[in-house]
Amino acid sequence: MCADFDFTHDRPVYVIGGGPGGLAVAAVLRQHGVRAVVLEKADAVGASWRGHYERLHLHTTRARSGLPGLAMPRSFGRWVARANVVRYLEKYAEHHGLETVTGVEVTRIDRAPDGAGWLLHATGGRELSGRAVVVATGFNHTPKLPDWPGRETYETSGGTLLHASGYRDAGPYAGKDVLVVGVGNTGAEIAVDLVEGGAAHVRLAVRNAPHIVRRSTLGWPAQATGILIRRLPTRLVDRVAALQARIAIPDLSAYGLPRPDTGLYSRAREGAIPLQDVGLIKAVRKGQVEPVAAVESFEGNAVVLADGSRITPEVVIAATGYHRALEGLVGHLKVLDPRGHPTVRGARTPKHAPGLYFTGFTNPISGMLRELALDARRIGKALAREKRTRLRAEARTRSSERKSLARRTR
């Protein structure tokens, strides 16, 4: 439900972000009897999922992608489509009776003047006081478009340059020469979508050769492997993954996509999860997607690649990732590492910022939604313990005050 602000209640826990992570935390807090208010800057929950490209399906199984307290319907199939993820998030908020406020963006978080809790500065000049804050603004928050030299000359010369966040489907690019920059899951899937949608020529600019895995092998999903290996030694997983790749993934070196020279799990621990094949291998081998070198710069209508070659695509789609964009919100609190990521997450809070929680700022090999669900349960338990401790302390204080009053009136 969408709620109006009410300042008469005890200070709630504010959850910033109405995506899967924020909704999951709010639901678990509600189950624990802790009031949570979700603040979402868009006009509806699940905003990032509403904006993704139409072709997108979860790369994790339906059974391992549900949030606490509500499973995804079987009718969604094993690999859930983007539109069904949106439907699920809408139903999730309704099912749990979550208190959500849309159209409100939190721009800064400060310690409350009394030192107890947090003060949130939001659009419209609002100042909201909460006893705790959960930041769940998302891994894919602000599109990251590299500042390539000469970028503006490409657009003024008639080329079209857009970030992958602005791509919806292949329709507008039918019959066109398109360069996709970035060979992560998004870039690879957009390239395949363009081929199937009738683009005349599709190139894929590659800076670092990706680790490619099958989404499922004989019914066993890659996500299940990702869950199993998380606590194994990195070097062991790297060696096993390399052997498995040589068996299951064809060598695409002749097509311009060599095997990577770093380990799969080593890369994953740095945030570069493997590319799940949903048609790229076939498209590359058939010559429908042409891997090329990384983009270095633009010169007029030409794109200059790292190997010195020049190409003239009509459209460039940059699948170059996102910024977390947390600096303005909490950067002054010294809770971010040099990359702009939270120094702690889940049930842990920074020692100098107790009551400030973060969820959804990693890209785990075991599946984002699964990890968001685990984080939500941990955060919910931590805040429920804090509430019980606070209530016991308040009860002791009231009891002490009653006893003191009774002594004075004798």
Kindly give the confidence (pLDDT) of every residue in the chain, 410 residues in length, as a single tens digit, with 9 standing for 90 and above: 544 433 334 689 999 999 999 999 999 999 999 999 999 999 999 999 999 999 999 999 999 999 999 999 999 999 999 999 999 999 999 999 999 999 999 999 999 998 889 999 999 999 999 999 999 998 888 999 999 999 999 999 999 999 999 999 999 999 999 999 999 999 999 999 999 999 999 999 999 999 999 999 989 999 999 999 988 999 999 999 999 999 999 999 999 999 999 999 999 988 889 999 999 999 999 999 999 999 999 999 999 999 999 999 999 999 999 999 999 999 999 999 999 999 999 999 999 999 999 999 988 899 999 999 999 999 999 999 887 877 777 677 777 777 777 777 76
Quick one: pLDDT at residue 5?
38
CATH number at residue 343: 3.50.50.60
One domain for residues 76 and 130: yes
Paired tokens of 16: 């910033």
Looking at the DSSP assignment, which residues form a beta bridge with residue 70?
A: 67
C-alpha span between 188 and 312 (Å, rounded):
20
Q: Is residue 208 part of a domain?
A: yes
Domain co-membership, 187 together with 61: no
Q: CB-based contacts of 10: which residues, under 8 Å, 6+ apart?
A: 35, 131
Residues 307 and 376 in one domain: no
Per-residue confidence (pLDDT) for residue 8, from 0 to 100: 35
329, 277: one domain: no
Alpha helices by DSSP H, listed for 131-233, are 151-156, 185-196, 222-229
Domain carrying residue 367:
13-141+324-400
Assigned domain for 407 exists: no
CA 81 to chain CA centroid, nearest Å: 17
Give dist(CA 401, CA 160) in Å, integer: 71
Instruction: Assess whether 183 and 307 both reside in one domain.
Output: yes
pLDDT the model gives residue 410: 66
